[in-house]
Structure formats: structure tokens, C-alpha cells
Chain A
Amino acid sequence: MNMASILIAILFYFATLMFVVGLFYRINTYARTPAPLKIPTTPAPTTQSGVVLRMTREVVFFESLFKANLWIWSMGWLFHASLALVLMRHLRYFTEPVWGWVALIQPIGMYAGLTMLLGLLGLWARRLFVERIRYISTPSDHLMLLLLIGIAVSGLVMKFVAHTDVIAVKSFFLGWMQLSIGTLPGDVVLYFHLLSVVALLAIFPISKLLHAPGVFFSPSRNQADNPREKRHIAPWAAGLEK
């Protein structure tokens, strides 16, 4: 056990707490805020199961984005799909024995790290070189991409260039989950990787990363188009009829 390991472990506890509590708070706010009017962007599904299908297409394939712009869609989808694989691959650091399907996707997950980086660079190029997108970008938009690029690059470096002791990393995180702090390999790239993830977790519930839960609560996408068939009324609006 050394100072760096203790610090990282503690930061991870805080970041995880902020992530979970913050996200829960946000989702709770979205869920409790009423949607007084029926505003699905039509043509929209007329049934609840149709809505589930629409949302699935939106979340899995980015259907609307596909209609909008192939550059953003291809790079955005590549990044998100790769990130999903990379995250699943990382489950091996938190499970013992490693689940069968997690072991199975290890080889794909490895290359997903590369395609994730490619997607991020493609998105950043758009932000830098397309006048319109540069105009709407705030410093935090660039930094967010940089943070993710940093995470991807440091991860790839440990995989393909300067291996870190992944067995030690795994035992550190297995212990961390049991509230027992072990020792991390003294590897600067690893520290950078982990601290970047800490930052990402912490800012998730207070940043534009809220698009992830947000999409599920978007009335223009999650409402069924049935206003004539069923009366829809929010509590505060019903109060006006009393």
C-alpha cells in the first residue's frame, strides 16, 4: 500500500458516490417533472410498445442522428458502440471468476479501444474544422473530448505499448469493492488513466453527459401519439379545472 493507491482508491469512492447519487438525483428530477402536453415529434408510434421500439432504435442505432448527418452519426455511433464494448471488457477487472461472455468479448474489446479513439478524433475534427460546429462549441465541449481521448489513449498505451501489471490492478479493484485498499502498480500511465476516469465519473451528473439518461425522458421521443384516444393531463394542469 502506498500514498498514490490510497489517494486513487478514495477518489474512486468519491467519484462513484457523486456519479450514483448525482445521476439518481437527476433521473428523479426528470421523472417527477410533469409533461403537461402531448408533444411527440410526429409521425410517432401510437402505442406504448411502439414507443419502446422507437426509443430502442434511437438509443441503439441513433436513428435521428442518421437522418441528420452521416459524419456525426458514423463517428458518434462508432465511439459509443466501441465505448460500450470497452466498458464490458473492463468488467474483467471487477469480477472473479470472469463471466463467460466477458471473457468471450476480450479480443473484440481490445480493438474497440482503437475504434473508440477513431470515433472521438472524428468528432473532434468536426468540432475543430467545421465552421458551424466550431461556433457552437464551448471550451468544455473540447475538454470533454480531450478527457475521453486521454482515457482511450492511456488505456491503449497500457495495452499495446507499455504493459501495466493488470493482475495487480485487478486485485486492487477487487479489494476496493470490498472496502479494502490494496496496492496499484507504480505506473504513471495507469494513474493518468484512472484519474481521468475519476474526473469523468464526477462530472457526469452535472454536465452534458446527462444526454444519456435525458434521451429516455425526452417527451418528443417517449410519448405515444394517442392524444385523441386518451386524455392526458398533468396534476398542476388538472388543478385549473377545480
Chain B
Amino acid sequence: MADVAAPPYRTIPIIPALKPGSMEDVRSFVANDKINEALGFPGQLVEDWHDKAIAKMGELLTKYRSLKVYMDACVHCGACSDKCHYFIGTQDPKNMPVARQDLMRSVYRRYFTLPGKLFPKLVGARDLTREVLDEWYTYFHQCSECRRCSVFCPYGIDTAEVTMAAREILDSVGYGQKYANEIIGKVHRIGNNLGLPGPALNDTLEGLEEDVKDATGIDVRFPIDVKGAEVLLITPSADFFAEPHIDSLIGYAKVFHATGTSWTLSSMASEAGNFGMFIGNYDQLRTIALRIREAALELGVKRIVVGECGHAWRVAYSFWNTLTGVGDGADETDRFAQMLQKQLDHRYKQPMHICEFTWDLIERGALSFNKEANDKHIITFHDSCNVARGSRMGDFAGGQFEIPRNIIKAVANNFVEMAPETTREQTFCCGGGGGLLTDDLMDLRVKGALPRMEVLQQVVDEHGVNFMATICAICKAQFTKVMPIYGFDRRMVGGVHQLVSNAIILGDK
């Protein structure tokens, strides 16, 4: 990616001047017939796309209260206008959250509100023309659905909901995105986003066992499809072979090993990621999530634990109970959910994040660490957007911020925070989330990383930080690719369980 240059850091982080149209030519590749049809979408843009799109919008407005309220409630106050990392990095005004929403809101007003029908110019209403549809495609694939804008909106308007609806409409008229739809196809066909078939997965896991044996002299197992195991681990498929993801997978395995937990992976559900959320399609979201339910029922596990993956954790934590019954508190008469919930062990949270799992064991004194093993690292933590603003860990609001940090501090001696207006609930997206982690959007990804890179540079300069821990497969992949463009070493980014893996004392079990 030699042709993509990093934008300069802002000397004073003021709000940038507008550069209208600066990103209008950055368009993610459109999906072909084969990719779309595999998901049941029209192969190409249909003839009557206008009527179909408006009808789909009308349908979504009756199915999603979020969309209905968010279309009406915005007052154009501008609170969100400087909060999006893509706006900060690109200066394109259509990347301001409110302007992005207005791409759809203008059409909503034209077709679904009285003033928009009568006086379109006055209220900023527009016909859905081919140009508008193209603009939707372009700019709704420049949103990573990170929800940072929704933190600041006085009505909680969440652009992610609007982006999801827009992508759902685009898919319904045959105008889907190649990257996300191709990956969803792979999940259905092969079982995971990376298209790693069962035999290859088994080989990889065997290889890992040998690697860990060579490195530690201990037989740490990576079991798969073990019936009757206590824990089913659902993790992003990147953990199986991408760097630095794999080091965290080793970390999870070591935690299970050190505590003698019986666990298993599943070849049927060898993917925590769920791109159905990114394209806003409830059926896809549900179908992909149902694999976890099936695997859990088939293997008879008592607990379901989720590996380091941001959007997957949002789907698991916030949506799995709704979609699949993985959770607690289903109605007595709810046979679908009860079938699974009766099997699960409700002394533990269902599902549970691997960080909750590890932190719980640390608190109970079940794990011991050689913290000095991480002394070569001066560590900071990047909160991943979907974990920070779309989920929780532990028993209290904000546990998703404390628990990963607590783990880092328990396994390492040097921890530094980045600027508070860029962490926790105000964290910036890595720039590659929400179905944008594709090479055809490299320009956008590099620019979108700007706000995070600026504050990382600060702690590098002031504290000598040389490791940025994060708990998201997409963050890890995005940063490894983008950080060199900003002059950082790609190995600076890694998982929290990578640090756990470095420091954990395994004994001789």
C-alpha cells in the first residue's frame, strides 16, 4: 500500500475545515451476482430499485423503533458533527454523523413525511435518484458503526442503526458490498469468515499444540468438537492463524490449561464474528448466530465463552439471547430458548467474555503470573468500539473498561492510559470496523485511524509505550496494516491474552 499516505497529525486537535467531496470517489467494491445470490439477495441492481428501496425503507420503519425515532428526532444541532474518526481523518462533510444520517433522512422526509412531500426544498427532502442511491452506497460504506456519535447525541441517535438500515436496503435491491457479503457467504459455506475448512483447522490446532510444547515444554491442548466439554470457546477465526491474533488464542488455551478447565472449539461454529450485524440484516445475523446454539446443543457444553473480538462480543453479549437463547431469563413458555438455557450452568454468565473468565480466575487466586515476563513492554490499551459502547463485562456498567485493564495490570508492570477523551466510552474506532476491513478501502482506513494514531504518538513520546493491547480481531488486523504507514512497528499491537500468555505460570499439569 505504498500509494496510501498517512494524513499529518493535527498540531492542535481542532476541528478540521470541510473538504466537500474529498471522499466521494472512495467506493468499496460492489458484490457480484454470485456473492449476492448466495445470500438470497438480487444479483444486481434490480430494474425497479426505486420502488423496492422505498418499500423496504417503509418496512424497516415499522420493524425498528430505532430507525423510526432517529429519522424524526434529529434537530441538526451538530453535537455529533466533529465526533466521527472518518470525518476527522477525511474532512469530507458527508462523513459527519448527522450528514451521513441525512443522506437517508432526506429521502425519509420526501416519501414518509407531510412537509417533505409538500415542500421538499424547505426541509431538505430529496427524491431517491440513482445519484442518491450511489451516494448511499459510498458513504454508508464509510461508517464503521462504532456508535461514538451516539454517545454525544442528546437523543442518543445512533448512526450505526441508520447505516445498517441503509445497507439492508441496498442489499435488498441488489447493491451489496463485496467484502461483507463474500465473508457471510464463507460462513455459510465453510463455517468461518476466513474460509478455513475443517481439516485445515485441525492441522492448525495440532501445529499450535506442538509450538506451545516447544516453547514451554508443556502439553497445552487445543481441543475441537469434544462432546461433554464444560466450556465451548467461540472465537474469531483470525485467532487461528493471523498475527498477532494467534498469540491470544494461545493465551486462552493456557488459561484453560492452568485451571484444568475442560473446553472445546467447534468446527461447526469456528467463528465468533457475525457480519450479519454489519449489513443490518436480521435474518443473516440470526442464521449465523444459530450455529453457536446448534454447536452448544450438540456438544452438550455447560458454558459458552467468547474470544477477543469486538463486534462478535456485541453480538454475543447483546443479541445472542434474543437470537439464539444463549443467555438466561427466558420465559417458562419459551421452549426455543429454554431448550438451551436448561443445559447451561447459570452460576456463570452466559455467554461470558474470555476476559471475564480470566479475570474471575485471577480474582479467585486460581492463576499465577510472572509479571516480569512482560517487562519489555510499556503497555497501553485501546478500547474497541463495539465492546466499549455496545456491550458490558462483569456486574456493573463500565466493567468492559475495567476488566481488560485489570487483567493487564495483573500480568504486567508497565501500564499507561491514552488521552481520556479517546478511551472508554469515548474511544475512537480503529478505522477498520463495521465491514470496512478491506483493501479497496485502504485510503479510508488509514485516514480513519488518525485520531487513534495521534494519541498513541503522545504516549509513545511521553512514556515510551511500545505495546498497544486490544481485544478485537478487526482492531488487531487494521492496526497491523495501518500503523506502519504512520511510522509505528506493526508488532506494537497485540491482544490482552497475548500478555496473559507471556506471563502465566503453567506448572506441570
Contacts and interface: CB of A to CB of B under 8 A. Distances in A.
A64 B73 contact: no
A72 interface: yes
B95 to A, nearest CB: 11
Contact of B319 (A35, A123, A126, A227): A227
Given A33-B65, A43-B425, A136 B78 contact: yes
Interface string B46-77: 00000000000000011111101110111111
A41 B156 contact: yes
B268 interface: no
A68 B390 contact: no
A227 B317 contact: yes
Interface stretch (A97-105, A171-179, A214-222): A214-222
A135 B73 contact: no
B392 A43 contact: yes
A6 B328 CA distance: 63
A43 B397 contact: yes
Nearest to A76: B77
Contacts of B388: 42
A206 B79 CA distance: 23
B15 A215 contact: no
Interface stretch (B146-154, B257-265, B455-463): B146-154
Given A136-B98, A218-B73, A231 B18 contact: no
Nearest to B390: A42
Nearest to A75: B77
A214 B327 contact: no
Interface in A210-242: 210-211, 214-215, 217-221, 225, 227-234, 236-237, 240-241
B96 interface: yes
A117 B157 CA distance: 27
A42 B425 contact: yes
A42 B66 contact: no
A217 B69 contact: yes
Contacts of A67: 151-152, 426
B81 A132 contact: yes
Interface string A48-78: 0010000000100010110111001000100
B78 A231 contact: no
Contacts of A206: 113-115
Given A36-B64, A42-B392, A43-B425, A227 B154 contact: no
B82 interface: yes
A188 interface: no
A92 interface: no
Contacts of A33: 61-65, 68
Contact of A139 (B63, B68, B122, B322): B122
A133 interface: yes
Contacts of A45: 397
A232 B425 contact: no
Contact of B397 (A34, A44, A123, A241): A44
A180 interface: no
Contacts of B61: 33
A194 interface: no
Interface in A1-59: 26, 29-30, 33-39, 41-46, 50, 58
Interface stretch (B221-229, B331-339, B407-415): B331-339
A130 interface: yes
B122 A42 contact: no
A222 to B, nearest CB: 8
A35 B154 CA distance: 19
A135 B329 CA distance: 47
Contacts of A136: 76, 78, 81, 93, 96, 98-99, 102
Contact of A41 (B124, B147, B321): B147
Given A211-B74, A228-B351, 9 more contacts: A37-B322, A44-B397, A62-B154, A64-B151, A136-B78, A136-B99, A210-B72, A229-B328, A232-B321
20 contacts: A38-B319, A39-B66, A39-B161, A41-B150, A41-B156, A42-B425, A58-B154, A68-B80, A68-B154, A69-B78, A69-B79, A138-B123, A139-B123, A140-B123, A208-B73, A211-B75, A214-B69, A214-B155, A217-B65, A219-B66
Q: Which 3 A-B pairs have the closest CB atoms?
A: A214-B73, A138-B124, A68-B152
Interface of B: 15, 17-18, 61-66, 68-70, 72-83, 93, 96, 98-99, 102, 113-115, 121-124, 147, 150-158, 161, 282-283, 286, 317-319, 321-322, 325, 327-331, 334, 336-337, 349-351, 388-392, 396-398, 400-401, 425-426
